[in-house]
Every structure is written in structure tokens, then in C-alpha cells.
A and B are shown apart, each in its own frame.
Chain A
């Protein structure tokens, strides 16, 4: 049973790697060739690196996801701190207003956002890629739930000791909420890393495109070659795959700490 599923689920992964080493004869063979029969071809990788600035696009993706993650952490921490610990009128209203943003699909507002970014002359820049995502309802929700279970006495005690709000936030709350923050960071980074529709719209040059857009451009290139496309894909996926294999325990903790209330 497990073996059947191993074949079904593992095959696309295997084929991605095997295919990246195949020349056009093997990859298109009928009946199929399941390994590079006519010898492994390394030039697919050279070809992929030559066709698009893959490293640069990697950097773009990291920069974009990093900025978005940092932004979401900051906005979420500040907002949820106020929602939980600070005196506030209409607290419930504010919370649900912030929470309601989770329900709005990005695609429903993509047109005005595109027009806005385009009018502001930001097309094809890093701000265009990151600005709309610097806050997210999920992050606020997640941290609020975590802060709610934070012992209130600790906050009161800190206040009595004359600890200011920012100081409490930086010295006590953030260090003690590290697992939840890491879970949020992981979630934000992944979400940003995998974005496709928005970067497709607001980037134009290969130099500004993210890796996700880059590898699909390989597919539409005039000189299309399946092995080369797969080589690009492998290069794009190896880092996340390594992260998954060696960081699985951490990821699982992040998911349980974060995904489920």
C-alpha cells in the first residue's frame, strides 16, 4: 500500500530530476524512457542558466519573500499586541475588521491594485512585489490567539514595574512568543515564495522576475526543450526540498504551532 503511494506521489519528483538529465530523444521516447538511457546530459543545466538569470531571480524571490515576511511579522505583532493588551474602544470591531481581510481573495482586488501600482510607476520594482502584502489577516489572527493565552498577570506586573509598552513588547512578549512567531514567519515566507499571479502581472524584465515566473518563461522560450525546462525546475526546487528534508521537524512544529488554533 505504502509502496503504491510512494510510486504515485514520488514519480513526478523522480521524473523532474531524471528528466533534467535527459536529452530530447529520451525525454520524448515512446514508449517512455524512465531514466537517461543515452547517458546523462548536463548541458540542460548550463542551458537553463544561460537562458534566464536564474541566480538573480533566486535572489529576487528571497528578497521579496524576506521583505514580506518581515513586514507581516511587524504589522501583526503590533496590531495583535494592541488588540490583546491595550485599552481600546470597539476592540471587537477592529479585530473583525482586520480578520475580514482574510476572506478577500487577492484576485478580487488584483485589478485596482494593478492599476494603482501601474499609475504609481512602480511596475517592475521590488516595492510592487511586496507592498500589497506587508500585512495579512492570518498573521494578526494567529498572534492574537497566541497572545490571548499569555498570562495577563505578567503584563500587569510589568506595568507596575514601570515597564513601557514598547519595552514589554520587545523584552518580554516577543521572546516568549518565539515559537508562534517562527510559525508565522515560516507561513509568510512560503506564501510569498510561491506567489505566481501577482509577480506575473507586475514584473516584466527577467532581471526583476521571481524564480517562479522565470522557470515558466523557460517553457515559452522559442527554443523550447523539455529537459532544459526540467533542469531549471530542479535548480529552483532543490533548496526548498533540502529545507523540507532536513528541517521537517521544525516545519511540523511550525505548522502545529501555527496552523491549528
Chain B
């Protein structure tokens, strides 16, 4: 949907708006206002980032203490480790499996909800309700529903004579089940953002299009959706970052299993650093640096390739 092309040009980004000219007086006092934010970032962001980087070149003893520099050993191991390659691919697959459906479905729903039908408010609230659920609450409910032997989902399938599905016990299905949970969780938020965007589409644009003979699907595809591209782009970027960072649903539903089939990059970092008696902080830090690179590259790609097609009013 974000590939919908328009020939609209991009409006200059807000950061390019000309700034006020600085006077010489009060240079230092202006920096004082930055200090609180900078202090937090320095201690809990820049310093740890540097430390992550250093750790990623260090080994660890059995207590997790740094034990000498090992050069690029961890990175070489990551390059050679076929399991880690699988983790990366899985992470990307998971992002696609969550971000695309969630935007597609919530876009469709927001269009459906943008009608004047009686009781539409009830539907709006009902569809937005997943927004009230956190990662933990949503995952716990899905965990109960997914139980292979006695869970309600298989129970319902059983009513129709369909055999049991190993929702979170079959390695081929588990990642999809987690994606399903994630899509459900994200749905409410995406829907709220898109509905809000839709609400701000000026009526006269739609009226004008109608007068030109655009109706139904065409109206939606060539008029309304392009107008929603800023919202869609926003959801794409934030959704991708969120999805890359998914942890709770994996930890609660599958702990990375079965057979590692739901071990994404973030979960792999957790396993190496904190789980199963591990304290391979060095190796885990190397993976953390990879995560940082993945996030930066994907976000840059999105801004470089996709944002051009965004139609800013």
C-alpha cells in the first residue's frame, strides 16, 4: 500500500525550516537546558553503547567477567555460524509477517469503519480494544488459547472435525502464531492512527473526486489511500522497529523454541547474556551491535526508498 505511487513531490522536512539567528549572548545558558536530557542519554545510552562495543571484543570467564580482548572473534563467529544466519533471516521474516498484515488489515478496517452506519461506534471501540492489552497480557491470553491438547483454538477446530494444530509446539507454525499474536496486539494502535488520519481527510477532496466520477474502490485506491500515506509511513517505520525489538511475546509463548524456530535477534541476545546460566556478555554484545546496524540500515532504507512515495499535504 505504501508503494501506491503519486506524482506528488515531497514537502520539505520541518528540520529544513530556516532557524532563528543565534545572538552571541547566553550561549552557555542555552546549553544548560540540554543538560538533563544529555545527562540521561550519556549515562544510559552513549556510554552503554560504547561499552557494548568494547564488550563485543572481549571474552568472558564463567562468572561473566570480561576476560581479555579476543579481537573480532565474536563477529567472525557470527559470520560463520549458520544458526545465527537463520536467526537473522527469521528476524526479517518476523518483521514482514507482522508489519505488512497489520497495516493491510487495519487500513482495510479503517476504511470499513469510515462509514455512517448505526452502531459503528461499537465496532470502532471493539476493534480498537486490543490497544488496551500490553505485550504481557495479550501473550498470556494467547498462551492459554494455543495449548495444543486442551486450548480453546484447537477445541473450536475440533468442533468442526479439524485435527489439532501445534500452534506453539510445531516449529513450522510457532513463528506464525507469534506473528499472529503480535498482529492482534498492534492492530488497535494502527487502527486508531489510521482512523484519525482518515478523519482529517478534507471532505471537499472526496466530494471533488466524487464529482469527477470516482467512486467506491477507485476513490479509495487513488484518492484516500494516497492521502493516508504519511500515517502509513509512520506506522511502517515505527512498526518495523517495534517488531525488530519483540521480546515479551516470544519469552512468554515459546522461549525461542520449538527447536529455536522463534529465536529472533533480540531473543538470541537474551539467551546468550541472561538465560540458561549463560553470561556470554561478549558474544551477546556483538549481536547487539548487529541489531543496531540492522535497525539503522532498515530505517535508512525506508526513508530513502519509501518516503519518496509519501504524499505530504
Contacts and interface: CB of A to CB of B under 8 A. Distances in A.
Q: Do A and B bind each other?
A: yes
Interface of A: 1-2, 5-6, 9-10, 12-13, 15-16, 19, 27-34, 71, 74-76, 78-79, 81-89, 91-92, 94-95, 98, 101, 103-116, 131-135, 140, 145, 148, 152, 165, 193-194, 196-197, 200-201, 211-213, 215-216, 218-219, 226, 229-230, 232-233, 236-237, 240-241, 243-245, 248, 251-253, 255-256, 259-261
Nearest to A137: B41
Contacts, number: 294
Residue with the greatest number of chain A CB neighbours at <10 A, chosen from B25, B126, B193, B231: B126
Contacts of A241: 129, 132
Contacts of B134: 193-194, 196, 212, 236-237, 240
Given A103-B299, A241-B129, A109 B40 contact: no
A23 to B, nearest CB: 13
B33 interface: yes
B306 to A, nearest CB: 16
B11 to A, nearest CB: 11
Nearest to B123: A2
Interface stretch (B44-52, B73-81, B169-177, B209-217): B44-52
Contacts of A236: 134, 136-137
Residue with the greatest number of chain B CB neighbours at <10 A, chosen from A9, A15, A92: A9
Given A10-B126, A105-B291, A252 B135 contact: no
B8 interface: no
Contacts of A134: 36, 40
A165 B28 CA distance: 13
Given A31-B156, A107-B288, A251 B127 contact: no
B69 interface: no
A217 to B, nearest CB: 10
B159 to A, nearest CB: 4
B197 interface: yes
Nearest to A200: B251
A27 B112 CA distance: 34
B196 interface: yes
Interface string B121-142: 0011111111111111111111
B33 A2 contact: no
Contacts of B150: 27-30
Contacts of B147: 28, 226
B14 A237 contact: no
Contacts of A104: 45, 49, 292, 295
Range, interface on chain B: 35 or more
Nearest to B164: A30
Nearest to A213: B136
Given A13-B130, A103-B299, 8 more contacts: A19-B152, A79-B34, A83-B34, A107-B270, A115-B281, A131-B43, A140-B37, A252-B195
Contacts of B141: 12, 15-16, 19, 230, 233
Contacts of B40: 71, 75, 131-132, 134-135
10 contacts: A9-B127, A15-B145, A86-B22, A91-B22, A101-B45, A103-B292, A107-B245, A215-B137, A237-B133, A260-B197
B48 A113 contact: yes
B259 interface: no
